[in-house]
Chains A and B, each alone.
Chain A
Amino acid sequence: MNLIPLSYYIVTALILYILGMYCLAVKRNMIKLIIGIEILTSAANLNFIALATYGNPGGADPLGHTFVIMSIVVGACVVAVALTIAVHAYRHYKTLDVRELKRLRW
């Protein structure tokens, strides 16, 4: 059986990481910033899964998968908190544009 080479996954993960950072640097909508955080976490998760599978010929390593499941749970908590803050910000400013939240000098 021919598997896709490991390097493809790692390159994809690195591209995802850079995309996430780009998203955080450029986007101005609060929800899009939160999506950027999710992309960053996904990059690391993808890397974990790929390495867990390729490091062990004949089966995936449960450790990497355990870690990814935990990381997904934690990511969900972070996003929940972030969305709560975004909702409160929307109630105050009636917008999700972080440029309007400029009293603290972003």
Chain B
Amino acid sequence: MKMILSLPIDLLILFAILAPIVYLLGVKMRTRKIVDIWAVVGFLVSAIALYLLYNEVAAEGIITHYWAGQQLRGIAILQIDMLSIFMAAIFLLIGLLTAIYSTKYMERDTGHAEYYTLLLLMVAGMIGVAFAGDFFTFFLFWEIMCITSYVLVAFRKEKWESIEAGFKYLIISSAGSATVLFAMSILYGMAGTLNFAYLSSTISNTPTPWSILALAMIVLGLGVKAAIVPFHTWLPDAHPAAPSSISAMLSGVVIKTGVYGLIRIMILIFAPAEYQWQLLLAIFAIITMTVGNVMALLQNDIKRLLAFSSIGHIGYIIFGLSIASVYGLTGGIFHIMNHAIGKALLFLCAGAFLFAVESRNLDDLAGIGKKMKITGLTFIIGSLALAGIPPLNAFQSEFMIILAGIQQGVTSGIWYGLSAIMVLNILFSVGYYLRIIQIIMLREPTDLAKKAKEAPAPMLFSMIILAILCIVIGIYPGPFADFANQAAEAALNLDNYVRAIVG
């Protein structure tokens, strides 16, 4: 069979299009659950296809594929290297576990056909962004991802919170998308093409006022999606308002798509040696992590707290990127994986609490961990992991980022200061993670929490898998760090990427 795009994306889109039909069949056969299982199967099949693709990429280095059939100046092309595979693997992992979790969590909601269609399409869009080899493809998949996530945030349309958050998210995020589009038009005017490799060979050598304007607009536009402070204001509203399974997707992986775009575009097209954006981006990163961590401490709503903590972690990742060395980028990319796993776990746990007692307020949730022992245990693992406690996973990547920052100190003393601020931030963030652990696990249960029952099996399954991953990556980081290292080297190996197209 000839594939249209790439096999993992094709399968996801196919499953997404067929999901409403399967739902209707399920209604006819009086088994409504069938569409849930359909979505889980879709993610599984796509994961197998991704594994096959991984083997191909590991053998050949870079795969290029013209999906529109014509070879018009490198347009409509997929260019898949190790970094793309790495990101796609994280997207699919979190997507699969979210789908399993949703089979139980979304039981009380209606509109399952729409929900799973949108979920599958969102993951397809994210993988497409990671595979894109030119701005045309990038923009299309970017918008697929954005539009589906707008709808998913506003999914519970009968609640005021979802509507407000959805509208705010839509306005801010599509303004960001339009800014990226404007930057693309400038790059197109300068180079006459939109292919990353061609742009890399024309734009990266000589900074001109126009290319610097384009760079600024791309950082602004992708920064909105990646929630870099001061463009983060939508995130603490949108992430809590969505259903918890979607919060896990948004906080775990959708914001990472913005980070991926920054990594790919800024390293490939705006070469750090010429454009000197490292320090500026590092300052953004420091502001981001500080604002995220300080605001997280002040929150009284568990999902809002987790959303702010996501902003803090985005700061760490951007700091790793801003160092722009192999080691720093490895740390940043590795942290993308660790944060995705940890934050998805915490949001799924918060969803389980929400499922049990219908409240997100920390005062109501006090002591609930004593009633929901397994959920509580996974919640502790997730919190400690993100707090950077060894031997759990985020410690490994945060350590790598800080070490890379100190190595960068050889070039300019300011990097020592920035790394020190990051260490302070990590220590500071332990404060609120311990606070939520203390509230959830150690306090006397409130009346509301006493009535809580343990979460159902599919929800527990997803949480336990993620908790095990937290521990495994922490104790045995070798293969995972190696994978991240391959991804970082692929991202920095411009020659290979450009030669695959330009020749």
Contact = CB atoms under 8 A, between A and B. Distances in A.
Interface of A: 10, 13, 17, 20-21, 24, 30, 33-34, 36-37, 40-41, 43-45, 47-48, 51-52, 55-56, 61-64, 66-67, 70-71, 74, 77-78, 81-82, 85-86, 88-89, 92-93, 98, 101, 103-106
Interface string B131-152: 0000010011001001100110
A20 B167 contact: no
B181 A41 contact: yes
Contacts of B150: 78, 81-82, 85
Given A37-B171, A47-B189, A81-B150, 4 more contacts: A56-B192, A63-B136, A78-B143, A88-B157
Contacts of A61: 192
A35 to B, nearest CB: 11
B167 A44 contact: no
A25 B140 CA distance: 27
Nearest to B241: A104
Contacts of A45: 181
B189 A55 contact: yes
Interface stretch (B37-45, B172-180, B380-388, B397-405): B172-180
A70 B185 CA distance: 13
Contacts of A103: 160-161, 164
Nearest to A64: B188
A71 B181 contact: yes
Nearest to A82: B170
Q: Which 7 A-B pairs have the closest CB atoms?
A: A51-B189, A40-B178, A47-B185, A44-B181, A44-B182, A74-B143, A48-B185
A81 B170 contact: yes
A82 B241 CA distance: 17
Nearest to B191: A55
B192 A44 contact: no
Contacts of B171: 24, 33-34, 36-37, 82
B70 to A, nearest CB: 10
Contacts of B146: 78
Contacts of B178: 20, 37, 40-41, 43-44
Given A88-B157, A104-B161, A78 B170 contact: yes
A98 B165 CA distance: 12
Contacts of B164: 89, 101, 103-104
Interface of B: 72-73, 75, 136, 139-140, 143, 146-147, 150-151, 154, 157, 160-161, 163-168, 170-171, 174-175, 177-179, 181-182, 184-186, 188-189, 192-194, 237, 241
Nearest to B179: A40
Contact of B168 (A40, A62, A104): A104
Contact of B194 (A67, A88, A105): A67
Contacts of A41: 178, 181
A97 B185 CA distance: 33
A78 B237 contact: no
Contacts of B75: 63, 66
Nearest to A41: B178
14 contacts: A20-B175, A41-B181, A43-B178, A47-B189, A63-B194, A67-B184, A70-B139, A74-B139, A77-B147, A82-B170, A85-B170, A86-B167, A89-B167, A93-B160
B166 A85 contact: yes
A77 B151 CA distance: 11
Contacts of B181: 41, 44-45, 71
A99 to B, nearest CB: 12
Given A17-B182, A70-B140, A92-B163, A40 B175 contact: yes
Contact of A63 (B73, B139, B154, B166): B73
A64 B168 CA distance: 31
A46 B85 CA distance: 35
A104 B140 CA distance: 31
A92 B170 contact: no
A63 B383 CA distance: 48
B139 A51 contact: no
Contacts of B194: 63, 67
